[in-house]
């Protein structure tokens, strides 16, 4: 048996780090939106245990890989005796704040749920997803979601309809290091979460984005960030920000032609630039 799943990236329309929880993890307030920059994940049954291959040589293909963990945990929870072979065709860049690894793990869970239907409940799938990583439950759900606490508390929101220009500079950002900067920061700007959510819940994203921000932008302070955002706004974006803990930036556009022109211009400096579209699932 064999199936293929798309593993779409996400952007954070707003992201606030609310506090440090008693267990040392961080409580977040974020609204994430799926975009159509995708990895392709192929899953098939095979002999043995779990094996994984990937087109990106720098990505580990063992227990350190989130997609590998997803397959192993699903097999154990569903009591599957067949082996599982996973292949990932990567397009989403790593250390970009786009949840590429989480998207791959979610795609594996969807694929195995398709290959072995009714072995696990939806609740069990989401429990496995959260045990792998904070963004995996969102990637399993897709669309637009408010995500709270460690990411496991989610609420569906109207999906944003926009063209998206994604830019990944050469710099990489470690999520762990970004959170460590938060722990030592003396003063940070925080978005207005209540006003953002008031408008986002009604699908009024242009009004909502007036109150949006990404706390990680202050923490990471990437030298290229201001220039990328300036170019996105100059090209016609109505909002631009860093995604997640970085280092990718995105701009939102109404007009496809202006978005495509802006992506083309930015690609002269930043090779890894994509023209994308938001998607509902």
Answer yes or no: 69 catalytic: no
List the catalytic residue out of 113, 135, 168, 229.
135
Answer yes or no: 123 catalytic: no
Which two structure tokens, joined as six digits, stand for 136? 């995996």
H helices present in 79-142, as ranges? 100-115, 122-132, 136-141
If phi over 0 gives left and psi between -120 and 50 gives alpha, with beta otherwise, what is residue 244? left
Inter-axis angle of helices 122-132 and 100-115, nearest 10: 150
Indicate the SS3 state at residue 146: strand
List the catalytic residue out of 10, 69, 168, 229.
10
Give whole-number Cα distances, 4 to 45, 99, 220, 266, 277, in Å: 12, 19, 36, 32, 21
Catalytic residues: 10, 135
């Amino acid at each position: 048996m064999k199936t293929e799943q798309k593993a779409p990236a996400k952007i954070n329309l707003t992201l606030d780090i609310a506090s440090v929880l008693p267990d040392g993890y961080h409580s977040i307030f974020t609204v994430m939106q799926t975009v159509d920059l995708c990895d392709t994940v192929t899953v098939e049954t095979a002999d043995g245990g779990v094996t994984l291959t990937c087109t990106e040589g720098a990505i580990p293909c063992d227990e350190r890989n989130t997609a590998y963990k997803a397959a192993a945990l699903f097999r154990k929870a569903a009591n599957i005796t067949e082996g599982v072979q996973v292949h990932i065709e990567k397009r989403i860049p790593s250390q970009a704040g786009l949840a590429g690894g989480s998207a791959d793990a979610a795609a594996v869970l969807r694929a195995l749920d398709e290959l072995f239907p009714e072995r696990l409940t939806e609740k069990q799938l989401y429990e496995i997803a959260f045990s792998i990583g904070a963004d995996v439950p969102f990637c399993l759900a897709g669309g637009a979601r408010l995500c709270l606490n460690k990411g496991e508390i989610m609420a569906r929101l109207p999906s944003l309809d926009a063209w998206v220009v994604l830019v990944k500079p050469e710099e990489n950002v470690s999520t762990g290091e970004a959170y460590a900067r938060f722990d030592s920061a003396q003063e940070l700007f925080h978005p207005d979460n209540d006003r953002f959510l008031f408008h986002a819940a009604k699908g009024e994203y242009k009004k909502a984005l007036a109150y949006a921000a990404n706390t990680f932008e202050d923490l990471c302070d990437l030298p290229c960030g201001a220039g990328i955002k300036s170019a996105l706004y100059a090209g016609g974006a109505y909002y631009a920000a860093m995604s997640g803990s970085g280092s990718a930036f995105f701009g939102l556009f109404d007009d496809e032609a202006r978005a495509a022109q802006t992506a083309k211009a930015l690609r002269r400096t930043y090779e890894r630039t994509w023209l994308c579209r938001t998607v509902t699932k």
